[in-house]
């Protein structure tokens, strides 16, 4: 039997489901970092302009229903019971897909978890009929299950860095080529990256496919005038990307909708301060940074935040997945954050890195490091400590688990 890529399987599945995505008006977003924030900012602007918006993002922070949302003045996730029903419908269709592909002499017909989520999202959006849909890719772009949208309104690519190298390639060039796979003939391309080599990849593919190319990096500074709910200079780039995407899509929005949309756009787990008062001690902050580029942005954001709020004693709780560049992330944290103490922990996830190994890597950088086998233990210690701020980072899964523990206590 011949093998084939998952996109072919996804197309067969959607055909079996009646092509629910037909007629969707989509803003399609790929990138290594910044996809979720850009997606939420875009949705918020459109919502402020009076449109209903379907939002598909990943991974989830605490609850799988976060992945599929409708914004229509209130933000509501798909109900768990409805997600379960749609998932059952997708799995029933999978049986027909397997038979069809088997007859065609093709193998690898088992759906991935992300493909099931994507198909369920399409079915839900087909039911709800939002005016616009924001689709965030899961991994890469070219072979991503969301790349079944043949004619989006605009293709958006945020920052590109080294992550998921086993699947996408071990160079920025190869990863950029995968991300460029979402570029469709004649569809405008909005690119956030300031890296010249990466930008040239997107510019070249856009030219080959007859697409207008919008370079956000040359206009991003003009967006500093807007008040943002999310902190960090990188969020200014994301805001610029969101606005330029809406403009490139040809969607009519007012300046007021842009202003209010950006001021209200908020995504949990992205430098999230889990307190209404920043003077509260200890102050808990969670951030889902999970690769070196994201950690670098976090270091810059927290350094400015701690200076502004006169925070002297910080405990950094770090945990990550085995397939991440833990050494480089630790180098950036210990080299960029001054006067911090460290704790290593393991998130409740099968791919979690051993906290003992993390502790050894931190100790090798000349920093003391406590080791906690569970996030609950680390959280308990932190709450009873005399640190002024507890910064938890290294994984979106760690951020989610810590958030769940802390929010239960409020």
Q: What is the model's pLDDT at position 172?
A: 81
The mean pLDDT value for 377-391 works out to: 96
Same domain flag for 208 and 352? no
Same domain flag for 229 and 328? no
The mean pLDDT value for 381-402 works out to: 96
Query: How far from 308 is each of 179, 268, 298, 301, 304, CA to CA, in Å?
Result: 37, 22, 15, 11, 6
Same domain flag for 158 and 100? yes
| Cβ atoms of residues 326 and 295 within 8 Å | no
Question: Is pLDDT of 16 > 90?
Answer: yes
Same domain flag for 244 and 355? no
pLDDT band at 110 (very low <50, low <70, confident <90, very high): confident
Question: Is pLDDT of 101 > 50?
Answer: yes
Q: What is the model's pLDDT at position 248?
A: 98
Query: Which is nearest to 374 in space by CA: 394, 402, 396?
Result: 402
Q: What is the mean pLDDT of the chain?
A: 92
d(CA 227, CA 241): 15
Question: Is pLDDT of 264 > 70?
Answer: yes
Q: What is the model's pLDDT at position 270?
A: 96
Same domain flag for 104 and 23? yes
CATH of the domain at 58: 3.40.1190.10
Same domain flag for 223 and 328? no
pLDDT in tens, 341-367: 999 999 888 889 999 999 999 999 999
Decide which of 264, 283, 317 is a domain's last residue.
264
Q: What is the model's pLDDT at position 158?
A: 95
Q: What is the model's pLDDT at position 103?
A: 65
pLDDT band at 2 (very low <50, low <70, confident <90, very high): very low
d(CA 253, CA 151): 21
- List, in order, residues 6 or more apart from 257 with CB less than 8 Å away: 45, 46, 48, 49, 50
d(CA 261, CA 229): 10
Q: Which residue has the higher pLDDT, 168 or 98?
A: 98
pLDDT band at 1 (very low <50, low <70, confident <90, very high): very low
pLDDT band at 106 (very low <50, low <70, confident <90, very high): low
pLDDT in tens, 45-56: 999 999 999 999
Question: Is pLDDT of 113 > 50?
Answer: yes
Decide which of 264, 297, 330 is a domain's last residue.
264
Question: Is pLDDT of 84 > 50?
Answer: yes
Question: Is pLDDT of 209 > 90?
Answer: yes
> Is residue 1 included in any domain, yes or no?
no
The mean pLDDT value for 136-145 works out to: 88
Same domain flag for 310 and 205? no
Q: What is the model's pLDDT at position 5?
A: 63
Structural domain count, the chain: 2
Question: Is pLDDT of 379 > 70?
Answer: yes
Question: Is pLDDT of 160 > 50?
Answer: yes
Lowest mean pLDDT among 40-54, 157-171, 315-329: 157-171
Question: Is pLDDT of 4 > 90?
Answer: no
Question: Is pLDDT of 147 > 90?
Answer: yes
CATH of the domain at 378: 3.90.190.20
d(CA 112, CA 90): 11
Per residue in 102-118, is it b (16+ CB within 10 Å) or e — as a string?
eeeebeebebeebbbbb
Q: What is the model's pLDDT at position 162?
A: 58
Q: What is the model's pLDDT at position 100?
A: 72
> Is residue 388 included in any domain, yes or no?
yes
> Is residue 78 included in any domain, yes or no?
yes
Decide which of 264, 291, 324 is a domain's last residue.
264
Range(s) of the domain holding residue 346: 272-408
Q: What is the DSSP string of 353-387?
A: PPHHHHHHHHHTTT--EEEESSHHHHHHHHHTS--
Token duo for residue 84: 């379960």
Same domain flag for 197 and 63? yes
pLDDT band at 257 (very low <50, low <70, confident <90, very high): very high
Same domain flag for 209 and 302? no
Lowest mean pLDDT among 89-98, 228-237, 304-313, 333-342: 89-98
> Is residue 92 included in any domain, yes or no?
yes
Same domain flag for 216 and 310? no
Q: What is the model's pLDDT at position 246?
A: 99
d(CA 35, CA 39): 6
Question: Is pLDDT of 66 > 50?
Answer: yes
Q: Is the pTM of this model over 0.85?
A: yes
Same domain flag for 61 and 94? yes
Same domain flag for 198 and 320? no
d(CA 40, CA 169): 28
The mean pLDDT value for 43-67 works out to: 98
Give the relative orientation of helices 255-264 and 35-48 as an angle to the nearest 10 degrees.
130
The mean pLDDT value for 129-136 works out to: 98
The mean pLDDT value for 118-147 works out to: 95
Q: What is the model's pLDDT at position 3?
A: 40
> Is residue 86 included in any domain, yes or no?
yes
pLDDT band at 152 (very low <50, low <70, confident <90, very high): very high
Strand partners, 288: none
> Is residue 376 included in any domain, yes or no?
yes
pLDDT band at 58 (very low <50, low <70, confident <90, very high): very high
């Amino acid at each position: 039997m011949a093998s084939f890529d998952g996109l072919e399987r996804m197309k067969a599945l959607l055909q079996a489901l009646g092509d629910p995505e037909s007629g969707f008006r989509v803003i399609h977003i790929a990138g290594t970092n910044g996809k979720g924030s850009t997606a939420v900012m875009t949705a918020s602007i459109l919502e402020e302009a009076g449109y209903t918006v379907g939002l598909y993002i990943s991974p989830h922070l605490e609850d799988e229903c976060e992945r599929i949302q409708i914004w229509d003045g209130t933000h509501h996730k798909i109900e768990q019971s409805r997600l379960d029903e749609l998932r059952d419908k997708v799995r029933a269709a999978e049986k027909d897909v397997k038979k069809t592909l088997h007859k065609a002499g093709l193998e690898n017909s088992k759906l991935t978890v992300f493909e099931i989520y994507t198909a369920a999202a399409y079915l839900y959006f087909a039911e709800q009929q939002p005016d616009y849909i924001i689709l965030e890719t899961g991994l890469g772009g070219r072979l991503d299950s969301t790349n079944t949208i043949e004619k989006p309104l605009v293709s958006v690519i945020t920052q590109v860095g080294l992550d998921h190298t086993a699947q996408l390639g071990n160079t920025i060039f190869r990863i950029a080529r995968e991300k460029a796979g979402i570029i469709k003939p004649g569809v405008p391309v909005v690119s956030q990256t300031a890296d010249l080599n990466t930008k040239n990849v997107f510019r070249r593919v856009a030219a080959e496919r007859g697409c207008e190319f919008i370079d956000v990096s040359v206009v991003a500074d003009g967006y500093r005038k807007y008040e943002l709910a999310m902190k960090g200079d990188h969020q200014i780039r994301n805001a610029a990307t969101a606005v330029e995407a809406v403009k490139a899509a040809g969607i009519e929005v007012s300046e007021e909708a842009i202003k209010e949309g950006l001021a209200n756009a908020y995504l949990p787990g992205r430098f999230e301060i889990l307190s209404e008062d920043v003077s509260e001690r200890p102050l808990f902050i969670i951030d889902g940074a999970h690769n070196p580029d994201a950690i670098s942005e976090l270091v810059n954001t927290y350094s400015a935040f701690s200076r502004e709020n006169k925070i002297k004693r910080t405990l950094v709780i770090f945990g990550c997945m085995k397939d991440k560049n833990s050494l480089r992330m630790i180098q950036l944290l210990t080299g960029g954050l001054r006067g911090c103490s460290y704790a290593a922990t393991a998130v409740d996830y099968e791919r979690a890195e051993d906290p003992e190994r993390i502790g050894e890597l931190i100790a090798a950088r000349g920093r003391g490091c406590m080791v906690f086998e569970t996030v609950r233990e680390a959280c308990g210690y932190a709450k009873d400590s005399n640190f002024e701020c507890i910064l938890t980072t290294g994984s979106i899964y760690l951020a989610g688990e810590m958030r769940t523990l802390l929010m239960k206590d409020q």
